[in-house]
Amino acid sequence: MTYLYIAIGLIVLWIVYLFNHFITLRNRADEAWSDIEVQLKRRYDLIPNLVNSVKGYAAHEKGAFENVTKARAAAMGAQGPNPAHAQAENMLSGALKSLFAVAEAYPDLKANQNFLELQRELSDTENKIQAARRFYNGNVRDFNTGIQSFPGNIVAGIFKFGKKEFFDIPDNDAAQNPVEVKF
C-alpha cells in the first residue's frame, strides 16, 4: 500500500511539474509577443514623422503617402499574433519600401538629416521587429511542442492548454515582392 501512495505522489508531482512548465512556456510566449507589440508601436510612431518629411519634398506623390497611411491604420487595428495581423504588418512594410523608393528620387531629401535619422530609426526598428518575431516564434515552438508531445499532451489536454499561432509572413504577401515605382 505504501508503494501505491508513493506512485500516486510521484504522478501528482509530475503533473504539477508539467503544469508549471506549460505556464512558464506560455508566459514566455506572451512576453515575446509583448516585445513585438512594443517595437510595432515604435514603428507606428515613427511613420507619420517620416511621411511628413517626405511630403515636403514630394508633394505630388500622394498615392505613396495614402498607401502608407492606410497600411499603418490597418496594422494598428490588427490585434494578436494571427495571420491577419502578419498580413497587415507586411503590407505596411511594402508601403514603406515604396515610400523609400519615392525618397530615392529626391537628392535633397536623401541628404536631409531629419529624414536620414528617421530612416535609420525605422530601419533599426524593423531589425528589432524581426528579432522579436524570431524570439516569439521560438517560444511558441517550444510551447506547442510541449503541449503536443507525449506525455505532456495528456496534462495539456486536462488543463486545456491550446496551441499558439506563429507570427509568420504569408506566402502570397506583397512584402516578399520588389516594389515597383513609376514616375
pLDDT in tens, 108-166: 766 677 778 888 888 899 899 999 999 999 999 999 999 999 989 999 999 999 999 99
With contact defined as beta carbons under 8 Å apart, do 56 and 167 qualify?
no
Of the ranges 62-71, 73-82, 102-111, 129-138, the best mean pLDDT one: 129-138
The CA distance from 142 to 26, in Å, is 9
50, three cell numbers = 517620416
| pLDDT for res 156 | 94
pLDDT one-digit tens code per residue, 4-63: 999 999 999 999 999 999 999 999 999 999 999 999 999 898 888 888 777 766 665 667
Annotate the chain with DSSP letters as a single string.
-HHHHHHHHHHHHHHHHHHHHHHHHHHHHHHHHHHHHHHHHHHHHHHHHHHHHHHTT-TT-HHHHHHHHHHHHHHHH--SSSHHHHHHHHHHHHHHHHHHHHHHT-HHHHH-HHHHHHHHHHHHHHHHHHHHHHHHHHHHHHHHHHHHSTTHHHHHHHTTPPPPPP----TT-GGGSPP----
Which domains are assigned to the chain? Answer: 2-176 (1.20.1440.20)
Q: Are 67 and 98 in contact (CB under 8 A)?
A: yes
Side chain identity, residue 106: Y
Whether pLDDT at 174 is above 80: no
Give residue 153's pLDDT.
94
pLDDT score recorded for residue 67: 79
pLDDT greater than 60 at residue 177: no
CA angle 182, 85, 149 (to 5 degrees): 135
